[in-house]
Structure 1
Amino acid sequence: MLSLRSFGAHLKRSQAYLWTAVLLFAVGFGLGMVNADFLQRIVVDQLRGLQEVSSKLAQSDNPELSFFTFIFFNNAIKGVLIIYLGILVGVIPVFFLIVNGMVLGYLIEVQSSLGNSISDLVFRGLLPHGIIEIPAIIIASAFGIKFGVASLRGIGRLFSGKEERGAREWGAMAKSSLNVSLWIVILLFIAAIIESTLTFHLMKG
């Protein structure tokens, strides 16, 4: 179940979905860059809420552990859910990718408009953990989209009398999703360690 070779094989067989997920994230990022004023009205309250949580965590007895616990469980739960919620014809993973891309693009555009260093934001605030976290999110969403496509095919096969073939496909999807989910959690665990330690101290400095 934890086979890294199997994980690689699942990724190889899902290249089309992975590239689709990358494209959707990039589209969201571009929309965030060009519609920063519009997005400000939508995400500013959410970002303010995250800032309040961040301030409370920073004041705890062990900020690194508090940040790690919050970041890991928040991301891991979302990462696994986004795979299985894809069963709803893939709508939620698509929305998740676009929104996350938009928020990232928005943050970079806002920092740029304020005259802050984008290189500092990218190399100190995003890259250390983002180099693992963002691909993990994209992989999870790609498999969510794959589940959505399988769901649509399953509906079609119910009406075409090919239920047995659909059952086999669902069995293969369920098996692969367990392996992928475990590796998504592992990747997000590593990313959370980096974000709560290295990124935390880089941004403080």
Structure 2
Amino acid sequence: MFAFSRFLKDLGTIRKAILLALTLFVLGGVLGWIGTGSLQKLLEQQLEGLSSISGELMDSDNPEWSFFTFIFLNNSIKSVLVIFLGALFGVIPAFFLLINGGVIGYLIHLSVLQGADLFQLIVKGLLPHGIIEIPAIIIACAFGLAFGGKVVQSMFGRVRDGVWPESMRRTLTASVWIVILLLIAAIIESTITLALLS
């Protein structure tokens, strides 16, 4: 039930949802890059919150462990929640993708305006852990969007008998592997990324 090969096969069944999730994430990034007005304020609040938490974690007795614990729990809990809350017509995973993409787009644009080395920011600050973390979050949201799609279809009687048990099995399998992927990403982010940016 929880084999990685099964998880990979399940990804093939939600290709459209993955494409939609990727599109929303990229759209969020574009909106973050050009963000003005209320959107800019929202993204600034997100970054201020993250900056405040980051400062507290850096001042702890063991910054690496503090960063790991926070990053892993924050990402894994939100990602699993966003899968199951996708049942609310896929609204929450869509919003989650737009906000996460927006924060990254805004942060990169802000760094460029401040004259930061964009190559260094991406290669050192984003790529080591992001190469696992970002796809994992996009996949989690894709499962949430697919879940929401099933709910909408069932409201119009377009879901065949026996579809829901298999859909729930896929959701549980995805949750397990997404948490594992985010565990790996958190280890990298709290060690390699932290060391590269220090």
TM bracket, shorter-chain basis:
over 0.9
Q: Matches of 2:34 and 2:111 in 1, distance apart?
A: 13
Show the 5 A alignment for 1:16-27: 16-27=16-27
1:203 maps to which residue? 197
1:192 maps to which residue? 186
Is 1:32–1:106's contact at 8 Å kept on the other side of the alignment? Answer: yes
2:147 maps to which residue? 147
Q: Matches of 2:184 and 2:175 in 1, distance apart?
A: 14
1:169 maps to which residue? 163
Q: Matches of 2:38 and 2:122 in 1, distance apart?
A: 23
CA positional deviation for 1:171: 1.1
Code of the aligned partner of 1:192: A
Say which SS state the counterpart of residue 6 (structure 2) adopts: helix
2:112 maps to which residue? 112
Following TM superposition, the consecutive aligned residue runs of length 4 or more in structure 1 with deviations greater than 4 angstroms are none
Change in Cα spacing, 1:179 to 1:154, as seen in structure 2 (3 Å) is: same
Q: Matches of 1:17 and 1:52 in 2, distance apart?
A: 34
Q: Matches of 2:62 and 2:130 in 1, distance apart?
A: 23
Q: CA RMSD in A?
A: 1.4
CA positional deviation for 1:69: 0.3
CA positional deviation for 1:31: 1.1
Percent identity, aligned pairs only, is 48
Show the 5 A alignment for 1:7-156: 7-35=7-35, 39-156=39-156
2:173 maps to which residue? 179
CA positional deviation for 1:59: 1.4
Q: Matches of 2:178 and 2:143 in 1, distance apart?
A: 11
Is 1:39–1:106's contact at 8 Å kept on the other side of the alignment? Answer: no
Structure 2, unmatched stretches of 5+, are: none
Q: Matches of 1:56 and 1:113 in 2, distance apart?
A: 27
CA positional deviation for 1:38: 5.2
CA positional deviation for 1:80: 0.3
> TM-score, normalised to structure 2's length?
0.95
How many residue pairs end up in the alignment? Answer: 198
Q: Matches of 2:49 and 2:34 in 1, distance apart?
A: 24
Structure 1, unmatched stretches of 5+, are: none
Q: Matches of 2:90 and 2:39 in 1, distance apart?
A: 24
